[in-house]
Each structure stands twice: as structure tokens, then as C-alpha cells.
Amino acid sequence: MADGSRPNARPTLKTVAREAGVSTTTVSFVLSGRDAGISEATAQRVHEAVKRLGYYPNSSARAVRTGRTGLVMLSLNMLSDPWSLALADAVNSAAKKAGITSMILADGDWFSALELQSADVAYVGLGPDLDDDARKLATMVERGQKIVVFDEVVEPKGFDVIRSNSLPGCRIAIEHLLEHHTEIACLTSRVNARNNPSRLTVYRDAMADAGLSVREDRIGVYEETQAEAYAVALDLLSSPDRPTAIYATTDFAAIAAINAAHRLGIRVPADVAVIGVGNTPDAGLTEPSLSTVGPVDQFARIADIIVQRALDGPGEVGEGTLHELDWTLIARESSRS
């Protein structure tokens, strides 16, 4: 054949272009979704040719040719958390519009994954061992890997940092409860309880500043699962002198507390007020709707940062940029007096 193709060989851009009667550049523009003034009729011919030939893009060849993988990698530690789900949904939507694909790592081992598969950008949340993470980040920056880090402490060093200042936001949540309550419990994860400062230490400090003692039996510590958060919330609310309010350090734990209250026949907020942390979409879907704290439009904003970084030219690592998100109170039915 004229272009050197063989019968039953995998179709190429050139094959599709010949089938559709257009140039390979036109095929590339149509398949990437770029607006190059191509008519709808021409685009339809290209898509029909793609379907007839069974063409699919060769990602390895594209990466060699353009320096891009067309891939956004998201390292998410807990996929059952509404926060993680909302972020994944926002990034996936923004990535599709940009003609790229998002891939989720469910175990948080972003370093090993990036050693095997590079990405146009990788989004990572750091763990408790910041020194180890710093070494891993430095290694990836040296390799030219673009990274967006979500963290409240680390500074940008060749990678972008999204800083969501949760601790002042958590203080807002507790002070909201303190307007009408003194018997406030805290529902927090074991990982959070080990950190200092943390969302738990904010609770201790706010209670102390209000002249209130902290009862250790009103600090419910759960493992990183919704089922465990629900079980611990049941224990807190089953006490004969149960608290009149619960400050949960995540929205998903606050939702677990509302479900536990329903199970026990305890009215929210008449018998116990509940507030969460994170401002996730699920907070507005509970019954009653969940009060929470967090940045406004945070998921769309984070997704825009990640996708824009992916669209930067290959090798454009730079010094890194700090993106700060401010927190606010979203007062809903679950905390109304």
C-alpha cells in the first residue's frame, strides 16, 4: 500500500485522514476537540471514519511526539469520603472539557505510580511523614514531573501548593456551636488525633478559651472508614448524659453522626446539633441539611488549578505557585437552635 500500511494493521491518523478525505492535521484537531474552524460536516466525516476503522489513539506515540501523556493523576487516600468524591468528579469534568483523562490512585502511593507512569500533572495529598514526602517531591521535580500538592504546611518548591487553611475554619465551626451549646463532643479520625496542631487541638483550644473543660469521653476517635465513624458516633450519643452538640472534623463523620442520631431516635438539631468540616456537596443533601465550614466553590477552583497545570507546556515546572483557599461558615438546618 502507498502509505506502507498492512492488511489488519492498526489504523493510524493517516489511515483515518485518507478514509475521511481530509488532512492528518484536521483529524488531530477533530479528535482532540480543538476549535480550528472545522465544519460540523467535516468533523462528522472524521468521526464516522474513526468508527468504521476502529481507530483509537496511540498514547505512547503521542507522548513521544508531544511530550504529553494526556493524563491527570489524582492520588486520593479515601474514596468513600464525600470530599474525595467531589474532587474526583470536578477534576474529571474539567479534564474532559480540556481533552485529557483523569486517573485515580486509591491507595495514595503516588510516588510508585509516577515512577511507572508519568502524567501531565499529578495531584497529591501528603501524609504524616513530611520529610519522606519532601524527598519524593524533590525527586519528581528533578525529573520534570509537574505536581500539585494539597497541604496546609509545605511550601512550593518546583511544584504548586493548594493551601486550604482548615484550622481557622474549624475554629469558626466550634464557635458557631458555642453560641448555643456548652456540652460539645468532638468526632475525629485517629490520624487527625495524632497530629499537632490539628482539628482536634482546635477543639480543645476553643473549649478552653470559652472556659469549658474538655471531657475525654466526649472525644470520639474513629479509624478512616464511614462505618467506624458511625459506630463511634453511636457510642457518643448513647451516653446517659449525651452531648447537645457534635463537632465532626470531616463532613462524612458529621453525616455519620446524623445517621447515628436517627438510629437512636435523637432529633437533629432539637436534641443534638451537628456541624462538619469540608463543605462537600453531600452536606446539602442530608436530612436535615448539614452545617459545615469550608471554601466556597473549592472543588471547581482546585480542578481548574490542576487542569491548567496539565495544559502548561511539557517541562514547564517553574518555581511553583501557592494557591490559598479561604474558609467560611455554611450554616444549615443541623445546627439551628
Q: Range of 109's domain?
A: 68-164+297-327
Average pLDDT, the chain: 88
Q: Give the count of domains, the chain.
A: 3
pLDDT value of position 3: 47
Coil, helix or strand at residue 287: coil
Average confidence (pLDDT) over 161-179: 95
305 & 156 share domain: yes
Domain containing residue 210: CATH number: 3.40.50.2300
Over residues 92-119, mean pLDDT = 87
Q: Are residues 231 and 194 in the same domain?
A: yes
Claim to verify: residue 276 and residue 176 sit in the same structural domain: yes
Predicted confidence at residue 31, as pLDDT, reads: 74
Are 275 and 185 contained in the same domain? Answer: yes
Indicate whether 75 and 116 sit together in one domain: yes
- Statement to judge: residues 132 and 196 lie in one domain: no
Judge if 191 and 227 occupy the same domain.
Answer: yes
Residue 337 is assigned to a structural domain of this protein? no
Bridge-based pairing of strands 147-150 and 101-105 is: unpaired
pLDDT greater than 80 at residue 36: no
Do 170 and 265 fall into the same domain? Answer: yes
Query: Which of 41-50, 75-84, 149-158, 237-246 shows the highest mean pLDDT?
Result: 237-246
Segment 136-142 mean pLDDT: 91
Query: Does residue 222 sit in the same domain as residue 306?
Result: no
**Which residue pairs from 48-55 have beta carbons closer than 8 angstroms and sit at least 24 positions apart in sequence?**
48/20, 49/16, 49/19, 49/20, 50/16, 52/19, 53/11, 53/15, 53/16, 53/19, 54/11, 55/11, 55/12, 55/13, 55/15, 55/16
Residue 87 shares a structural domain with residue 159: yes
For residue 179, tell me if it sits in a domain. yes
pLDDT for position 282: 93
Residue 195 in domain: yes
Residues 275 and 174 in one domain: yes
Give yes or no: residues 175 and 104 share one domain.
no
